[in-house]
Structure 1
């Protein structure tokens, strides 16, 4: 695993061994950023189920001004912190070792607008996609926010979350990447 593009391009990232996480491959990561835009001018990213932090770190490398990482697994969280430090993004990162539901409840209490939301829960935990509804309904996503969901080919996500509509889906083996944007 590595940072694909931007200011930290080529920086190797440590991955977690075992079956507790499923790192996004460089190929899929590169495809995601080809879809949502190769580079950014600021903005806040939320990487729920961050694992080793590959998506959030990639977003920072490509120009986001801040990233919030949420990871419950202890080993993954330690690796996430090591990757953030290695990439020198400590000053623009917030890390939370907690369940995604608790993290979203905390975010709902903050004065924050998210511009990039990455949601990649364990494939058998489809109830976590409902967290998107909470963030949308409470106005925590900016008008131009981009939502990226990674999910199993067996999982069908809705065509929209509030006024954020499914604009693109790509299949990579047993993984589907669904991208949502504001259509209002």
Structure 2
């Protein structure tokens, strides 16, 4: 894996060792950032189920001000710390080892809000609708925030619901699909 564009273009990113994570491929990542960016003029992002930190680091490289990384696996958190340290991004990151729902609740208590949320849970293991409900309940989303969901093609997400409107859905392989929503208050 590598950073595709921006300030850290071409720098390698360590993957989490073992089989517990599924990194976003460079092809999917490049396509995704062409849709949502490709570059940013600041902003805050939450990389939930962060794995190696691949998506959040790409966002920082492309101009995001700050990224909060969350994963519940010790090995993933260690890998994120290594990747962030190697690129000297420590001052632009918060890294937490926590369950996704506890992390959402904690961020809400601290009144944190985000312009972008990356959701890439283990396929079929975490209900997206429950994540959306928690994001809304704890008021983590800025008006117009984008929620980027990577999921299996077997898991179909709705076109629109509540304050979320689907902007785009892309299929990348027989397994992977990206669905992007915009939040409106």
- Name the counterpart of 1:179: 180
- Name the counterpart of 1:93: 93
Q: Is the 8 A contact 2:143 2:184 kept in 1?
A: no
Q: Is the 8 A contact 2:147 2:183 kept in 1?
A: no
Deviations along 1:99-147, one digit per CA (max 9) or x if unpaired, are 1111011011122220010001011213254122221244321112111
Relative to structure 1, the CA distance from residue 146 to residue 125 in structure 2 (aligned partners, 3 Å threshold; closer, same or farther) is same
- Correspondences of 1:109-148 after superposition (within 5 Å): 109-148=109-148
- Name the counterpart of 2:36: 36
Of 50-59 and 71-80, more deviation after overlay is shown by 71-80
- Name the counterpart of 2:74: 74
Measure, in 1, the Cα distance between the counterparts of 2:82 and 2:126: 29
- Correspondences of 1:30-69 after superposition (within 5 Å): 30-69=30-69
Which residues of structure 1 form unaligned runs of 5+? Answer: none
Relative to structure 1, the CA distance from residue 72 to residue 110 in structure 2 (aligned partners, 3 Å threshold; closer, same or farther) is same
Deviations along 1:69-118, one digit per CA (max 9) or x if unpaired, are 00111111111110011111100100001111110110111222200100
Q: Is the 8 A contact 1:136 1:162 kept in 2?
A: no
Measure, in 1, the Cα distance between the counterparts of 2:138 and 2:108: 7
Deviations along 1:11-62, one digit per CA (max 9) or x if unpaired, are 1000123210000011100010011110111111000000000000111111
Measure, in 2, the Cα distance between the counterparts of 1:170 and 1:4: 19
Measure, in 2, the Cα distance between the counterparts of 1:16 and 1:182: 31
The runs of at least 4 consecutive aligned structure 1 residues that moved more than 6 Å come to none
Q: Is the 8 A contact 1:119 1:129 kept in 2?
A: no
Q: TM-score, normalised by structure 1?
A: 0.95
Alpha-carbon RMSD: 1.4
- Name the counterpart of 1:11: 11
Q: Is the 8 A contact 2:2 2:26 kept in 1?
A: yes
Q: TM-score, normalised by structure 2?
A: 0.94
